[in-house]
Amino acid sequence: MDNTSLLQKKRTAYQPSLPSILNDLNHIIFKPVPIKEPLPSLKPLFPKTFHQKAYSLEKGSSTEKKSLKIGVVFSGGQAAGGHNVIAGLFDAVKLFHSNSQIIGFLDGPGGIIQNQWVELSEKKIAPYRNQGGFDLIGSGRTKIETADQLASSLKTVQEHGLGGLVIIGGDDSNTNAAILAEYFLEKGCGCKVIGVPKTIDGDLRSKEIEISFGFDTACKIYSEIIGNIARDALSAKKYYHFIKLMGRSASHVSLECALATHPNLALIGEEKKSLSEIVKEIADLVCRRAEAGKNYGIVLIPEGLIEFIPEMKELIAVLNQAATLQMEDVEKHLKGEQKAFFASLPEKFKKQLLLDRDPHGNIQVSQIETEQLLMELVKKELKKRTEAKAFKGKFSAQEHFVGYEGRAGMPSNFDANYCYALGTLAALSVHNGLTGMICSIQNLKRPPQEWRLMAVPIVHLMHLETRLGKEKPVIQKALVDLKSEAFLVFAKARKSWEIDDSYRYPGPIQFFGDLDLTDSVPFSLK
């Protein structure tokens, strides 16, 4: 029995479209680009890498290429295209010199610490070209933070004699890459550390990082599913579908999927509405749709919504400080509005807030079933309105959580091309002796031929944040900018999606056919 689908086989043959600059690797140079200084407070933490310039890849006559040995690792959650970063990296170093080697550290940064690795050959990589997942070498969430972990990592790269280490990860993993780059320099180790921006959440974003890889594919898969459910809702006219979308810290995924599917309502956490406002907004929508004879609809909910709701955020902060609080003591502990707010929550969620604590005694916000909470509160509100004869419709709701199915799907052409270019850029960066840099590809809304490639010091993206009482250098997660073009387009259109059903059905990602279909870019980029 054949364990490989026909599409898997056909996709391995796809040749990523390249930025023009990469057509001839022998005639490119990194040209320094002056950039704004990083935050001064970061200087003591990054004495060796603080003053670095950014570099732009330009045409020119470069030095002869040498053999390289580079390690690569996946860090954190899956994102479509990861395998193409490795393919781009591998092809580039092999083009530099046939003796070049790529070794993959297994199951995340823990593989560096414990020196668990595999050498990657063309034979090993070939079946993974343009495929989803991180399964060629696995991924993991271990961070390289403690002195011991840093020392073990140094030992590993020295044992292998690595000229470079490419860390494919999100905000924290790239912070880690910067710390490791600084540490290696401090210890006199020549291994260069290069970060590659990955996360389906789309919150690793800045002027230099237009979008992280995996966001496009995930949103396209989610939008296919949302469109299908919307079409079902419109056909059956029976249910409200509350669809929660993956993405903890920011609502980029919800915004992108809303632009792709035109739901009746898409909540954006960054608008920071109160819980009662949100419930009222949904209930109002249900009432107005009922008046139009419509007792069905589509509501998109970002996974991280709950942490944006001001009262909830405050409540969680207070409850986190009282880890052992019992239900009967809550009333005494909470005051005024907070007490009333807590009392207004359905029993199940009160219990979730009090009981489901992590090992540090903190409430596990990700475990709170926001879509159910909203469904129950809306149901309660509509019951009130029914009794007051203000609502005569029906409200029957289905909940969905759309998440895991979007992280490891086959990368869209956009992500396949983007990742291959990121991998090539990482190889070039190591070859040119850059370290503590993140691969930055710009002009992404244009065809790949026109993309601009840069290496930007990671420190440049950082600031200091207080975490667990300590000041730590971190890359700030980029929230949805309520002044961005994507949000403004959404804000302007959403009213028209409320009552008239303007659902848009993107359908499944297409890999063959016209370029305008196969190579579309995220709406959020436009």
Residue with smaller CB distance to a second copy, 151 or 493:
493
**Single-letter residue type at 40:** P
Candidate ranges 32-40, 88-96, 338-346, 398-406; the one touching a second copy (CB under 8 A): 398-406
Residues 66-85 that bind a second copy (CB under 8 A): 74, 77-78
How many whole angstroms separate alpha carbon 112 and alpha carbon 506?
A: 41
The distance from CA 61 to its chain's CA centroid, rounded to whole angstroms, is: 37
Question: What is the number of residues in the chain?
Answer: 526
User: Cβ-count burial of 228 within 10 angstroms (0-12 exposed, 13-18 middle, 19+ buried)?
Assistant: middle
Closest C-alpha among 444, 417, 520 to residue 85: 417
Is residue 29 at the binding interface for a second copy, with CB under 8 A as the rule?
no
Residues in contact with a second copy, counted by CB under 8 A, come to a total of 65
In contact, 454 and 441? CB cutoff 8 Å: yes
How many whole angstroms separate alpha carbon 140 and alpha carbon 125?
A: 20
Q: Which two tokens stand for residue 246?
A: 């993956």
Which residues are annotated as catalytic? Answer: 201
In contact, 73 and 153? CB cutoff 8 Å: no
Give the number of other Cβ atoms within 10 Å of residue 461's Cβ.
Answer: 26
Of these, 25, 318, 489, 525, which contacts a second copy (CB under 8 A)? Answer: 489
Is residue 514 at the binding interface for a second copy, with CB under 8 A as the rule?
yes
Shortest CB 237 distance to a second copy, Å: 6
Of these, 4, 67, 146, 274, which contacts a second copy (CB under 8 A)? Answer: 4
Is residue 7 at the binding interface for a second copy, with CB under 8 A as the rule?
yes
Shortest CB 356 distance to a second copy, Å: 15
Is residue 228 at the binding interface for a second copy, with CB under 8 A as the rule?
yes
Is residue 241 at the binding interface for a second copy, with CB under 8 A as the rule?
yes
Is residue 351 at the binding interface for a second copy, with CB under 8 A as the rule?
no
Closest C-alpha among 263, 268, 250, 271 to residue 222: 263
Q: Which two tokens stand for residue 352?
A: 């979730």
Shortest CB 508 distance to a second copy, Å: 3
Is residue 15 at the binding interface for a second copy, with CB under 8 A as the rule?
no
Is residue 367 at the binding interface for a second copy, with CB under 8 A as the rule?
no
Residue with smaller CB distance to a second copy, 137 or 434:
137
Compute the radius of gyration of the chain from its Cα atoms: 25
Cα-based distances in Å from 410 to 97, 131, 133 = 30, 5, 8
How many whole angstroms separate alpha carbon 431 and alpha carbon 453?
A: 15
Shortest CB 412 distance to a second copy, Å: 10
Shortest CB 198 distance to a second copy, Å: 12
Shortest CB 289 distance to a second copy, Å: 16
- Residues 256-295, one symbol each (x = binds a second copy by CB under 8 A, - = not), give ----x-x---------------------------------
Residues 207-226 that bind a second copy (CB under 8 A): 221, 224-225
Of these, 198, 205, 385, 407, which contacts a second copy (CB under 8 A)? Answer: 407
In contact, 70 and 162? CB cutoff 8 Å: yes
Candidate ranges 207-215, 349-357, 370-378, 496-504; the one touching a second copy (CB under 8 A): 496-504
In contact, 233 and 241? CB cutoff 8 Å: yes
Strand residue runs (E) in 8-49? 28-33
How many whole angstroms separate alpha carbon 525 and alpha carbon 403?
A: 22
Q: Which two tokens stand for residue 142?
A: 């271990």
Of these, 284, 405, 481, 519, which contacts a second copy (CB under 8 A)? Answer: 405
Shortest CB 464 distance to a second copy, Å: 31
Is residue 5 at the binding interface for a second copy, with CB under 8 A as the rule?
yes
Shortest CB 107 distance to a second copy, Å: 7
Is residue 409 at the binding interface for a second copy, with CB under 8 A as the rule?
yes
Candidate ranges 159-167, 283-291, 402-410, 435-443; the one touching a second copy (CB under 8 A): 402-410
Residue with smaller CB distance to a second copy, 77 or 170:
77
Is residue 408 at the binding interface for a second copy, with CB under 8 A as the rule?
yes
In contact, 208 and 454? CB cutoff 8 Å: yes
Residues 139-178 that bind a second copy (CB under 8 A): 139-140
How many whole angstroms separate alpha carbon 65 and alpha carbon 76?
A: 32
Of these, 34, 359, 469, 513, which contacts a second copy (CB under 8 A)? Answer: 513
Residue in the structure block whose two tokens are 């139009």: 292
How many whole angstroms separate alpha carbon 79 and alpha carbon 215?
A: 7
Candidate ranges 13-21, 340-348, 477-485, 497-505; the one touching a second copy (CB under 8 A): 497-505
The distance from CA 228 to its chain's CA centroid, rounded to whole angstroms, is: 23
Candidate ranges 41-49, 65-73, 138-146, 150-158; the one touching a second copy (CB under 8 A): 138-146
Of these, 121, 351, 508, 526, which contacts a second copy (CB under 8 A)? Answer: 508
Cα-based distances in Å from 212 to 41, 81, 249, 452, 522 = 26, 11, 14, 15, 11
Strands 452-457, 297-302: pairing kind: unpaired
281 SS3 class = helix
Of these, 26, 47, 507, 526, which contacts a second copy (CB under 8 A)? Answer: 507
Is residue 135 at the binding interface for a second copy, with CB under 8 A as the rule?
yes
> What residues line the site for a second copy (CB under 8 A)?
1-8, 10-11, 74, 77-78, 107, 131-135, 138-140, 221, 224-225, 227-229, 231-232, 234-237, 241, 260, 262, 398, 400, 404-410, 489, 493, 496, 502-514, 516-517, 520
